[in-house]
Structure 1
Amino acid sequence: MSDYEYKKAPEKTIFIKKGEGKKFKGSKECFTGDVEVELLTDANEDSHFSVAYVTFEAGARSAWHTHPCGQHLIVVEGIGLTQEEGGEILEFHEGEALYCPKDKKHWHGASPDCRMKHIAITGDKDGNNVTWLEHVSDEEYNAYKKNKK
């Protein structure tokens, strides 16, 4: 059993209006290109997950990373790309969803020519929801264009 203490769960319904989540730019340590995160909910003692909109401008992407409890993504705008270590780059579109398994090294982001916005539902274990690794190289990212021809 962990000693980590989650913040107290709200006792009433929380309503977050469109555009009123906590917004911040994705850090250069974790992303390549322009990325904005809008955090809607944090993990708490009852719900060990967070929910956020993440917007990647065309060509932007995450660094390689893992999640201790996995992550669900639902694309709400544009065209996204994702890749598990050693796998092919997959394209996903508005209205499609994917699940990133726990502890599986992967990245995701926008296609080269189109921005992408997704909802991220990310599991949290003992106060941690992601482990950031090295950046996705241009060569790794551009393999998508080569394979698409």
Structure 2
Amino acid sequence: MKVFHGRAEGKMSELRGETFSGTVWADPVMPPTDGVTINTVFFAPRGRTYWHTHEQGQVLQVTAGKGWICKEGEAPQEIRQGDIVFIGPNERHWHGASDGSYMVHIATSIGKATWQEEVAEADYPQGLVAG
């Protein structure tokens, strides 16, 4: 058993860049432990991940705002506060905030993430607004 205490006072959030578009911040909740990583992630409007997969899958718990989740070959789906998303092992996907809202989720990632290319601007949905 391991206990991970809340974020240490004065520890700064991490601005994400290499595998994200737009403004995205993350706070590690649990450092990589036995192949599991947990982060709270804040996406500014239109902020999003690149396409990626997780070796053993990922669970997202949306805690605030609205956004999108998209599995390769499928249309993007709206996600909002209170939603839980399970992404299966090696499913190619992306997720991020809508153009009219920020989004915060807790991401539990299992196994290695494999990052791929940026989501094309033309493929990012329009019109999901706050409210």
Could you state the TM-score of these two structures normalised by the residue count of structure 1? 0.78
Equivalenced residues, count: 129
Q: Matches of residues 23-102 of structure 1 in structure 2 within 5 Å?
A: 23-27=13-17, 29-45=18-34, 48-102=35-89
Letter in 1 for 2:46: G
Distance in 2 (alpha carbons) for counterparts of 1:65 and 1:99:
14
Q: CA deviation at 1:42?
A: 1.7
- Could you list the runs of 5+ residues in structure 2 that have no partner in the other structure? none
Give the distance between the partners of 2:120 and 2:33, measured in 1 at CA: 35
State the TM-score, normalized to the length of structure 2: 0.88
Give the direction of change, closer, same or farther, for the CA distance of 1:35–1:19 in structure 2 (3 Å limit): farther
Identical columns (%): 28
Q: Which has the higher helix share?
A: 1
Larger radius of gyration between Structure 1 and Structure 2: 1
Question: RMSD of aligned C-alpha atoms?
Answer: 2.3
Match of 1:14 in 2: 4
Cross-structure match for 2:116: 133
Q: Which amino acid aligns with 1:34?
A: T
